[in-house]
């Protein structure tokens, strides 16, 4: 789903660092907010992320990013938990969170809408299936911009 070249490069650099530390790399986001660029690394583990986990990834990845100098402009590196509404990006995410409530956004309208909230049924043959109020909605993966867990209070 819609990643920039910088995000792809950083993902490839961050993945071995995060794996070495026994963590899961959830997402990489490179975005300009106000006048500053932010490089956000989202990590997770079954028992939850600690400040020490974030600090360890930030230190090791920061050194690697400085050494390779792959990002031309200055940026602020942030490492954190993906939060309760974590993005689903990898194929294993769609298996792990099957049955959970999700929000899927599409690049262009599908059946007249761009936002779908319902229970994740899964992904098969590059088709995302969601149960939306008892109706099965299928979205070709190429039309999907973003999928996140939906907080259900």
Question: What CATH number is associated with residue 28?
Answer: 3.30.300.70
Mark whether 96 and 143 lie in a shared domain: yes
Interatomic CA distance for residues 99 and 148, integer angstroms: 13
**Nearest by Cα to 145 from 96, 88, 95, 101:** 88
76 in the same domain as 102 = no
Whether 26 is in a domain gets the answer yes
Mean pLDDT of the chain: 93
For residues 55 and 120, membership in a common domain is answered with no
Domain containing residue 122: CATH number: 2.30.30.180
State whether the Cα torsion 58-61-64-69 is positive or negative. Answer: negative
Tell me the pLDDT tens digit for each residue of 10-39: 999 999 999 999 999 999 999 999 999 999
The tokens describing 40, both together, are 């956000």
Label the pairing between strands 135-140 and 144-149.
unpaired
Instruction: Note whether 26 and 43 are within 8 A (CB).
Output: yes
- 148 neighbors 88 (Cβ within 8 angstroms): yes
User: Are 75 and 107 within one domain?
Assistant: no
- The number of helices, as runs of H, and strands, as runs of E, in the chain is 3, 8
Choosing from 80, 101, 128, the residue where a domain stops is 80
What is the total count of domains within the chain?
2
**According to the model, what pLDDT value does residue 81 have?**
95
Domain residues for 44?
5-80
Q: Identify which of 98, 79, 75 has the alpha carbon closest to the alpha carbon of residue 147.
A: 98
Domain for residue 85, yes or no? Answer: no
Q: Helix, strand, or coil here: 45?
A: coil
Please check whether residues 44 and 106 belong to one and the same domain: no
Domain endpoint, select from 80, 110, 129: 80
Asked if residue 30 belongs to a domain, the reply is yes
| C-beta separation of 42 from 15 below 8 A | no
Buried b (16+ CB within 10 A) or exposed e, 46-81: eeebeeebbebbbebbeeebeeeeebeeebebebbb
Same domain membership, residue 76 and residue 95: no
Which of 37, 55, 80 finishes a domain? 80
Query: Is residue 27 a contact partner of residue 89, using CB atoms and an 8 Å limit?
Result: yes
With bands split at pLDDT 50, 70 and 90, how would you rate the model's confidence at 2? low
Please tell me whether residues 9 and 73 are part of one structural domain. yes
Q: Is residue 76 part of a domain?
A: yes
- Determine, yes or no, domain membership for 22: yes
Which tens digits make up the pLDDT trace of 112-146?
A: 999 999 999 999 998 999 999 999 999 998 899 99
């Amino acid at each position: 789903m819609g990643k920039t070249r910088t995000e792809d490069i950083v993902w490839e650099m961050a993945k071995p660092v995060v794996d070495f530390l026994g963590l899961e790399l959830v997402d990489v986001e490179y975005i300009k907010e106000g006048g500053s660029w932010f490089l956000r690394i989202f990590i997770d583990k079954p028992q939850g992320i600690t400040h020490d986990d974030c600090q360890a990834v930030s230190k090791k990845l920061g050194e690697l990013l400085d050494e390779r100098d792959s990002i031309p402009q200055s940026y602020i590196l942030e490492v954190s938990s993906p939060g309760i509404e974590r993005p689903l990006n990898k194929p294993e995410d769609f298996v792990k969170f099957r049955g959970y409530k999700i929000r899927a956004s599409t690049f262009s309208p599908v059946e007249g809408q761009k936002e779908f909230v319902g229970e994740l049924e899964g992904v098969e043959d590059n088709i995302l299936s969601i149960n939306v109020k008892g109706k099965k909605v299928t979205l070709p993966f190429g039309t999907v911009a973003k999928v996140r867990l939906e907080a259900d209070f």
